Structure 1
């Protein structure tokens, strides 16, 4: 019963940690992203916006990494689950916290930009026109392939960094650096942040949303999760086979270390001092003082010395 209460307590902590972290990351990075495109007086480059995303992930990861692992993205949580690093009962609390945090953050962003969110919705005509005017426009197949590769790279990097226990303290730095690079490419090509939960939360404020936008948001990230997890398991399998093969070669070599064979203890080979023979019970529990040793030595000497008449 106590274990169930403790597990529920940890799930609640993880839920609030993911909600707070996702809300802050989207609020910091999304505000820089939207304001720079809507207000021409505030000119921020893609590098500065990507730095805002990456540094926010780094700072927030230092605070919530010990609680939830600092996923901040449902794609990362799904990758951790399919890699065997996250339990199924933890997945709903993670994804619910991320969704709620993104809705809270995008509601603030909606009021910041005065409801002008149409250019930032995937699949809308305004977004396509802005991409054609400002950024490098790709065909839909190339768009899908590039987004899949970026999501797969993000999932593989973060899952691999969580696997190494000795370097887990570097996970926030690795996550922040990978987020910076991924956002830099995505903002240059797609004009959208590489977080499907943020795009989904923005879609909720669109009165003309449809299911095609939802499919467009989630299809490439889901495929990227599958590719990233497959590559992770492939690398782990190759490393395991190589370590087993190297161990077998070492054992078959003539210079291999001999196995230690335990032998029964020979009581006659143990040397026992005269003091331990006289006091076997107290010899290892409590050491006698110097005065006691002197008295014992004198008594032992006089008992063994023949008395001369």
Structure 2
């Protein structure tokens, strides 16, 4: 229960901090933080929570990460469902808080996206479904490589949160124009449920692609790590 509570709170922070920066601050008049600021915000949420709750739950904050860690032999299968439920609930709770805050401004229109992930007409850069699928798979694959490598017992101790946070920042810098960056099914779900319509219709890709990518990352890391064991 404590581990799942930590995952709920951590995922809440990720969605509120990352999506909140996109909804509330990205294009704020004169001092908008833009793509770079949103990318950094997502990285900072993971970095700060990794130090805060890493010792409690491992700080997954992401169903794809939990599945990838399981595939990498780092996480027991019997904890997968409770972790994923906690993560999705935390994301939706953060989406609700963000919706309440954002709707306090005149002219707020949730149909404009609300930091949802999408492809084709709903991709920030108009990228196709195929491009979105490949982007999410590859980005999540390398995210898992960084997570597994930086948390390996042979890696320098205490630096994993920094590497993981910077990796997520880099991922956003690359892929925000393509999909608005998911690599996290819970993050995608947490805002999509408030947009409805197209965001729900396209949500499948932001579950399937990150999970495939996470498993590929785990398989790749197990292969290269075994060569140097």
Residue correspondence of structure 1 range 238-277 to structure 2 within 5 A: 238-240=227-229
Equivalent-residue separation in structure 1 for 2:68 and 2:209 (angstroms): 14
Unaligned runs of 5+ in 1: 1-11, 241-309
The residue aligned with 2:195 is: 206
The residue aligned with 1:226 is: 215
State which of 48, 51, 61 in structure 1 corresponds to 2:37: 48
Residue correspondence of structure 1 range 103-122 to structure 2 within 5 A: 103-114=92-103, 116-120=109-113, 121-122=116-117
Contact 1:34 1:113 (8 Å CA) reproduced: yes
The residue aligned with 1:17 is: 6
In the alignment, structure 1 residue 181 sits paired with structure 2 residue 174: no
Alignment CA distance shift 1:235-1:192 (3 Å)? closer
Alignment CA distance shift 1:208-1:76 (3 Å)? same
In the alignment, structure 1 residue 149 sits paired with structure 2 residue 142: no
Alpha-carbon deviation of 1:165?
5.3
- Report the number of matched residues: 223
Equivalent-residue separation in structure 2 for 1:73 and 1:50 (angstroms): 17
Contact 1:122 1:216 (8 Å CA) reproduced: no
The residue aligned with 2:148 is: 159
Which digits, 9 at most, give the CA deviation of each residue in 1:142-182, with x for residues without a partner? 22212211110001110222222563422211111111111
Higher deviation after alignment, 67-76 or 207-216: 207-216
Runs of 4+ in 1 over 6 A off after TM superposition: none
Name which structure has the greater RCO, CA cutoff 8 Å, separation 6+: 2
In the alignment, structure 1 residue 127 sits paired with structure 2 residue 116: no
The residue aligned with 2:186 is: 197
Which has the greater radius of gyration? 1
The residue aligned with 1:72 is: 61
Alignment CA distance shift 1:142-1:32 (3 Å)? same
Equivalent-residue separation in structure 2 for 1:90 and 1:49 (angstroms): 31
Contact 2:91 2:187 (8 Å CA) reproduced: yes
Q: Secondary structure at the match of 2:32?
A: coil
Which digits, 9 at most, give the CA deviation of each residue in 1:44-73, with x for residues without a partner? 121111111212221221111111111111
Contact 2:126 2:178 (8 Å CA) reproduced: yes
Aligned CA RMSD, in angstroms, stands at 2.4
Q: Secondary structure at the match of 1:167?
A: coil
